Amino acid sequence: MLATETLTVYGLMRFFRDDYLARFPYIGKSYASISEGLRGMPLMGYIIFYQVVDEGIEILRVVSGYRNIEQVLGEE
């Protein structure tokens, strides 16, 4: 899928939601210290933050891995 699709944040989010993370939702790192149930998966310099839901996963936010994660997520 990624080979023929432009590598946009939307494309990456769709790839992870529809395929890999949906099949293995607990593979991402737990960020429960920031927010209960929050998980993250690094990809190409970004961290895709998501939570596991009954239907699979829900992508919450995509943040540059170079940012202060606690500060960025604490702004919400």
Domain-embedded: residue 51: yes
Q: What is the mean pLDDT of residues 27-56?
A: 88
Decide: residue 27, CB within 10 A, 0-12 exposed, 13-18 middle, 19+ buried: exposed
Burial class (CB in 10 A: 0-12, 13-18, 19+), 42: exposed
Question: Does some domain include residue 56?
Answer: yes
Question: Residue 3: what pLDDT?
Answer: 44
Q: How many structural domains does the chain have?
A: 1
> How many CB atoms lie under 10 A from the CB of residue 47?
23
Rounded to an integer, what distance in angstroms lies between the CA atom of residue 73 and that of residue 24? 24
- Is 20 a member of any domain? no
Q: Give yes or no for residue 57 having a pLDDT over 80.
A: yes
- The reply to whether 31 falls in a domain is yes
Q: Is residue 10 part of a domain?
A: no
Q: Has residue 76 got a pLDDT over 60?
A: no
59 in any annotated domain:
yes
